[in-house]
Chains A and B, each alone.
Chain A
Amino acid sequence: MTHPPTRPASPTGPAQAAPRRAARAAAGLLAASLLAAGCAGADTNALGGAPADAAKLTLRATTPPAQGRLDRADWLLEDEPDSLDLDRQGGSAGRVVLTNICERLYQLQPDMSVEPFLAEKARTPDDRTLVLTVRDGVTFHDGSELTAADVLWSLKRHAAKDMEQSDEFGNVSSMRRTGPRELTIRFKEPDALFTKALAGDAGIVWNPRRVTAAGKEFGTPGQADACSGPYRLKEWKSGDSLTIEAYADYWGTKPLTRRVVFRWASDSALVNALRTGAADGTYAESPNTAAALRRAKNLRQYYGPSTASLVLIPTARGGLKDPAIRRALSLSLDRKGIANSGYGGLVQPWAAPVGAGAWGYERPRFAAAQKKLGAAAPATPTADDLAEAKKLVKEAGAPDDPVVIGTDSSQGRTVVANATRAALQRIGVRAQIKTVPPAQFEEFYSDPQARDGIDVLVGDWYISKADPMGFYDNGLSDSSNNWVGFKDPAYDRLVHKALATLDDTERARLTTEAQRRFVDAAVWIPVAQVPTALVLSDRLTGPPSSQSYLYYPWAARLGARKG
């Protein structure tokens, strides 16, 4: 229910894992790596200038507010959007664009908290009922008024079988209009994450007339949008560019920037376009892109909280089947070394399997819990950690066969794989690395047969909701992402209880408890958190720098630095 969508762009290296991105990077023909390493600017190996210090990276949710108007901003995406119908194709390039055009019932704020939005007010008369009041005075981009009927139609479309967001509605027993501006949603059991889903793609309100009129073509180039946001879709020239324009009759604050023109490029072409001023900004999906631009004089970089993380995902095969060996690996892994040599210091050693961006509430409690987990997942292992790890291996008995580490050839993953092998060897466990092409790598995540030959995957993951509980169901004994076959009835009970607990404080308590059990059993081994990186021309400012850029109208806050 609350798993991530396919990590649309993994934060590792130029040759990405996710199929959508792999597309270009791969050009298969070693173009990616050679281009990136060459003199063209995407200098991912030398990582221009002094690398950031991973431990001291400051994460801010926003950039300084903009002061002045702007006629046009040129923005880069790492790929062309697949579609602007997020119910059918939920790629991140499309989301970065569409979040400025479409609005949701709730809104994810730059600080990753969630607030009612197109649903002006929300009531919960009991734990299984959610009553939403639809905001008055909102018009779609075709001028028609947004009604409660439109909202209901949109929710039913999201919930329809085969739609990307249908799994968010698994708990819903009924959705009805109960007043001129009122909707009532009833649940089979309390659902703590539902309103968070309404801040994501499951909460988009479509204009049914436009969607129906476009039919199968809805969301493809040449079609009008069907939303009510601060920008409207002006033009999408397939294969060339996509332009959005401020919507004159917008109900909320009008944006400072009149037009945003999106183009797409990958690797060195993206880096060069920013460096030469051909583009004004991008949300860099790979930390290495940001690293390559650290020296550029006309650009500034901002790092913000995100839910993304680098993780080692063990399988039930081979030596890492034993939790003691997994714990030993976690103790002996040099996370700081990985961050510095694989990612230019732009990722942070981390002890939990989700990034700090997931803390949409009860932040101090989650921060304290994460810190406590650091004992089992040190940034740099001390002599004591290594001694403890060796002891664990000795007690459990070192496995006979070498541990097979599955990776692709991207720079970041290669470093993680080598660090993992080094850590294992240091504690007396033999290991070998198996490198596969990006498209095949992505299949490791989904196909148990594909990962048949590996003991641990150099993985990455993010969740779409700012609630760590959106992650921990991956450890349930019946979850398809629980590859090691972790079975703990107490854990299962905790997760189910937390998912049904609407009270934030209580849910946070249950979540940190589940998290402790998950990390103790080393179901996955956390490596680092991957912040969002915003690269922006020094003339511009305003947009959020957190992962909220996927769900928040970031362009509406973009403007000139000086008035």
Chain B
Amino acid sequence: MARARQKDLLFDAFIYTILFCIMLVMLYPFFYVLIISFNKGTDSMLGDIYLWSRSFTLENYAMFLSDPKWYKALVVTVMRTVIGTFLGVTFTCLVAYGLSHRDLLFGKVYFSVVIFAMYFSGGLIPYYVVLRSIGLLNTFGVYVVPSMLSTFFLLIAVSFFREIPAELKESAVIDGASEFKIFWSIVLPVSLPLLATMSLFLGVGQWNSWLDSAYFVQEDWLRTLTFRMIEIINKSNIPREALGAGATTSGVTNYSLQVTSMVVSVAPIVCVYPFLQKYFVQGIMLGSVKG
């Protein structure tokens, strides 16, 4: 008995050690980027920084955020994340609820279309032409309309809604509720894990998306935060041949700017993630296991 417990302890210790090592390997790059972003760029070039900033400074952030463009970009990004996530979750759930009815007329056809669209895309150029022809180019709509239906989550949501006991819906029908009432008042409230997971994924997707801002928008006021970061990173990749004998006149280097932009882009998501993680695990699993 005692020996068995000792074995367990050993085994646990071994597992925890491995997990701890994996955690270190995962977290250290984040930590390193963070300390470098608070370190004078010219000092970082000397190397040998591992655990904390050697020459603490805020000038990387000051330089990074010195432009009012950043605030405009932040507003646009927050707006697109909030509106895009809300529309994406709502619309995907609506469609999924319709498709979750097994007696839906032409249900198989709709499903085939969805599955086909999930695996095959037309590619960037046809997509661009479609956006242009429906007048979405250079509008805020280009950020939120194309992402309203997420096929991946549609499939998860369909199987999730099918797991909800039919009795719930039947009793509501007997009480005279309409389909929409059932969806709004009964199905959605019991689907919180699903909604949280979708919100997290779609929100992160919206926050990180930069390609639409780069390709489909020319108006300066519509640029997003991630696009501004790409700009900074691109600018710091200026070929030496084009620069002449350029040298930095401040303590900020290309590398320290790039690292700072990483921190700024990752920070908000890192802050939100821990609060949603429990839903996230639950949400992905639910609907995948037959009870």
Bind each other: no
- Residues on A facing B (Cβ under 8 Å): none
